[in-house]
């Protein structure tokens, strides 16, 4: 058993709340004032399935990457939120503050792909430039293996080699033009829309999808809480999109 306040302090030391974006709502989502926790479910999203899993696995807290609430609410009528409250499950989220933290989501994505000693651009972007050309086909094959993907979506797939690469977990299409200006050859991100893809000139963009590019956030939570006296469990999640 561990104090909830100690758990929250540990996360906020790693990803301070004051570093989140103004539009974000990291922090407490459901705070019932319960002081102790025995078992925590770690998740990318809080959904009906996530709450059911927390109940079935006897978790008294959910720590997620994506917040439950972004906009002011006038009433609580969502069934899964009500279900969480009825089952005394508290919910805490670390979102954009975790994205930009040292060792945070974008950096972890890059390291998962085999790239370290990264520089930072535009707050959320991690990038690296090389002294030699690297094989693009090998990179694409590596990504398929790492993320267990039969195929990947690529803009400007004609590229044979690259000497610079950038990463932005989640949605990073707003940085396309800025990254082209600093000479990035390959950009790995998620949630790329049609017109955003068309806006790319020569830069190759790999759209892993929002889920795939952030699912491993549970590993970051696990590492952050590894020394705490509480059991942590990774939620069983899957992408919202299915291939049929």
For 126-142, what is the mean pLDDT? Answer: 96
pTM, two decimal places: 0.93
Percentage above 70 pLDDT, the chain: 100
**Has residue 225 been placed in a domain?**
no
Tell me the backbone φ, ψ of residue 120, rounded to 5 degrees. Answer: -115, 135
**Has residue 181 been placed in a domain?**
yes
**Has residue 197 been placed in a domain?**
yes
**What is the residue-wise DSSP string for 153-182?**
EEESTT--EEEEEEEEEEE-GGGHHHHHHT
pLDDT band at 91 (very low <50, low <70, confident <90, very high): very high
Total of domains in the chain: 2
Pairwise CA distance, residues 221 & 161, whole Å: 35
Residue 81 has pLDDT above 80, yes or no: yes
**Has residue 229 been placed in a domain?**
no
Pairwise CA distance, residues 4 & 148, whole Å: 35
Percentage above 90 pLDDT, the chain: 89
**pLDDT score for 93:** 98
DSSP 58: T
Residue 239 has pLDDT above 90, yes or no: no
**Same structural domain for residues 63 and 117?**
no
Pairwise CA distance, residues 213 & 188, whole Å: 9
Strand partners, 223: none
Residue written as tokens 């430039």? 129
**Same structural domain for residues 21 and 114?**
no
End-to-end Cα spacing for the chain: 43
**Has residue 222 been placed in a domain?**
no
Average pLDDT, the chain: 95
**What is the residue-wise DSSP string for 119-146?**
EEETTTEEEEEEEEEEEHHHHHHHHHHH
Helix axes 4-14, 217-224, angle to 10 degrees: 120
**Same structural domain for residues 77 and 152?**
no
Compute the C-alpha angle 21/25/31, nearest 5°. 150
**Same structural domain for residues 48 and 141?**
no
**Has residue 224 been placed in a domain?**
no
Residue 243 has pLDDT above 80, yes or no: no
Q: By the 8 A CB rule, do 46 and 68 touch?
A: yes
**Has residue 90 been placed in a domain?**
yes
Decide which of 42, 73, 95 is a domain's last residue.
95
Residue 181 has pLDDT above 90, yes or no: yes
**pLDDT score for 157:** 93
**pLDDT score for 87:** 97
CATH number at residue 31: 3.40.1390.30
**Same structural domain for residues 122 and 87?**
no
pLDDT band at 166 (very low <50, low <70, confident <90, very high): very high
Decide which of 95, 121, 144 is a domain's last residue.
95
Q: Which domain holds residue 53?
A: 2-95
Pairwise CA distance, residues 197 & 192, whole Å: 6
């Amino acid at each position: 058993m561990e104090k909830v306040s100690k758990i929250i302090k540990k996360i906020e030391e790693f990803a301070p709340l004051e570093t989140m974006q103004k539009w974000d709502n990291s922090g407490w989502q459901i705070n019932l004032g319960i002081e102790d926790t025995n078992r925590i479910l770690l998740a990318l999203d809080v959904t009906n399935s996530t709450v059911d899993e927390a109940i079935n696995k006897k978790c008294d807290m959910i720590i997620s990457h994506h917040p439950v609430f972004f906009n002011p609410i006038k009433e609580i009528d969502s069934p899964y939120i009500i279900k969480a409250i009825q089952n005394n499950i508290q919910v805490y989220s670390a979102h954009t503050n975790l994205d930009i933290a040292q060792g945070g989501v974008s950096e972890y994505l890059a390291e998962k792909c085999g790239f370290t000693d990264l520089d930072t651009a535009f707050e959320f972007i991690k990038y690296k430039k090389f002294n030699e050309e690297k094989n693009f086909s090998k990179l694409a094959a590596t990504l398929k293996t790492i993320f267990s993907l039969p195929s990947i979506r690529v803009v400007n797939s004609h590229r044979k080699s690259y000497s610079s690469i950038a990463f932005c977990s989640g949605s990073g299409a707003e940085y396309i033009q800025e990254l082209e200006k600093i000479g990035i050859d390959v950009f790995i991100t998620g949630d790329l829309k049609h017109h955003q893809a068309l806006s790319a000139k020569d830069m190759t963009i790999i759209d892993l999808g929002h889920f795939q590019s952030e699912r491993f956030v549970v590993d970051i939570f696990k590492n952050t809480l590894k020394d705490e006296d509480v059991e942590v469990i990774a939620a069983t999640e899957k992408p919202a999109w299915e291939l049929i």
